[in-house]
Structure 1
Amino acid sequence: MTDGVPQQRFLPEDEVSAARARELTEAGGAWLLDVREDFEWEAGHAPDAHHIPLGELGARQHELPEDRQLLVICRSGARSRMVTDALTEANYPAANVAGGMGAWQASGGPVLRDDGTPGAIV
C-alpha cells in the first residue's frame, strides 16, 4: 500500500494453471477473458468470464481493462496462447490459462450457461 492505496500487482509469468486462474478470478484479482466462439460460450463458460471471440478482439479491444491482470482462456489453450502473446506485445498484463476450459473444469471450476444451469465444454 502507498498512502492507503493498494498497489496493483501483475503476474510475472505469462501462463498460469487453471487452479491459479480460478483463485485469482474468484478473489477479484483478475479479469477472465474467454476468446472462444459464440457456440462454445453458449454451451458453457466460467461464471465470471467476459466473452470476446477471437475474431472480434481487434474491434473490441477497447473493452479490455488496462489496469487489471487479464487471464485469457479458450477450449484447450491454443487460441488463448496466441491472444496472450498479442496482448503482451500491446503492453497488456496478460497470462494464458494453461489447458483452457478443459483444465478449468478438471480443476473443479464451474462451467455454466448464461441462465446458470450446468454447461458443457464443446
Structure 2
Amino acid sequence: MSCHLLFLILVLYSSVETPYIAMDCCLSVSHQVIPSNIVVRHRDQVKGEGCPISAVIFVTKKGKYLCAPSGEQWVNNLKTEVDRILHKCQKNNFKVYTLASITRNRTESKVSHISLV
C-alpha cells in the first residue's frame, strides 16, 4: 500500500508545471543618452512577451544592463553603431589587441634580435 501511495505522489509531483518562467525585464527606461564606447551588445524587450514594457537593453563592458526606450532615434543610432562594431569584430574573428599585448609583442621581438657577446 505504501509503495502505491509513494508512486502516486511521485506521479503527481512530476506532472506539476511551473506556470511562469523567470525573466529579467526592464520595468522602466532612462532617456539619458548612453555612450557607444561602453556598450558591448543589445537586445530588444517586447511588451507582452513576459515583460510589462517594450525597451532596448544595452549591456555595458562592466556587465550592467541599461534600459532605453525602444522608439527613440538615439537608441536606434546606438543599436546600429553596436551592430557595426560587432560585425567588424566578427569579420576579424574577434581579434582584439590590447595595449599590453602589443607592448609585450614589441618587447619580445626586440629581445629576440639582440645577440649577447
Q: Which of the five TM-score ranges fits, normalised by the shorter chain? A: under 0.3
> So what's the TM-score if we normalise by structure 2?
0.22
Instruction: Specify which structure has the bigger relative contact order, considering alpha-carbon pairs within 8 angstroms and separated by 6 or more residues.
Output: 1
> So what's the TM-score if we normalise by structure 1?
0.21
**For the pair shown, which has the larger CA radius of gyration, 1 or 2?**
2
